[in-house]
Amino acid sequence: MYNFLQKMIVSGSLSALRAHLLLWPVFIAGFTADRLTKLWTLDRLGLPGSGQEVVVIENYLRFSTVFNPGAVWGAFASQTAFLLAVSFVAVCFIMAIFATSPRKAWHCHLACGMILAGAMGNIYDRLFNNGFVIDFIEVNLHFWPADPWPTFNIADSLLCVGVPILIIPMLLADIKASMASKNNTNQKPQ
């Protein structure tokens, strides 16, 4: 048994398992939270235009149902096939990033789980809600650009948090490598 565990650790199987144990629970939790909040929205607040809303913080945060036919800020409205195609390509791209990521890059695995959950949450909506995405979170901070911010949902939040978690460490690694390369070049005798 000990030899088997030792071989798993040396071969990287255990670190691959850890990567999956982060990605899939984050995906399941995020996708489930998105679906449940959208179902709650339809059940509690009804269809758009019903006048039902829940005020969380007066003049700053409220919930009300919006059917979004496009992407962020309504871009590409009613172009469901295009938005689905882009979303499926993004899912494939994120899975490729996960598959090729270093097994110890926990931030990458966390981000991939969040991005997959967000993308699949909105894909689900487009497929089963006549091309619409259910948005319900309305934020108004009374200054630009959040005066008001476009209505969004949990899936959108997962995407907006997951993408920077994925990209920032990559950028920092590139900067670090570039600086190390410059230092090595400057230290060479001439």
pLDDT surpasses 70 at 189: no
pLDDT digits (tens, 9 = 90+) for 29-73: 999 999 999 999 999 999 998 999 999 999 999 999 999 999 887
What is the SS3 string spanning 48-96? CCCCCCEEEECCCEEEEEEEECCCHHHCCCCCHHHHHHHHHHHHHHHHH
Catalytic position from the list 43, 147, 156, 174: 156
- pTM recorded for the entire structure: 0.86
CA-nearest of 73, 39, 67, 85 to 131 is: 67
CA distance 161 to 115: 8
Burial class (CB in 10 A: 0-12, 13-18, 19+), 92: exposed
For the chain, domain boundaries: 22-175
* Peptide linkage before 102 cis (omega within 30 of 0): no
Concerning whether 34 is annotated as a catalytic residue, the answer is no
pLDDT digits (tens, 9 = 90+) for 126-165: 999 999 999 999 999 998 888 899 999 999 999 999 999 9
Catalytic position from the list 125, 135, 147, 174: 135
- Quote the Cα angle for 23-86-25, to 5°: 15
Concerning whether 174 is annotated as a catalytic residue, the answer is no
Phi and psi dihedrals of 69, rounded to 5? -85, 0
Which contiguous run of DSSP H or E holds residue 37?
helix 13-40
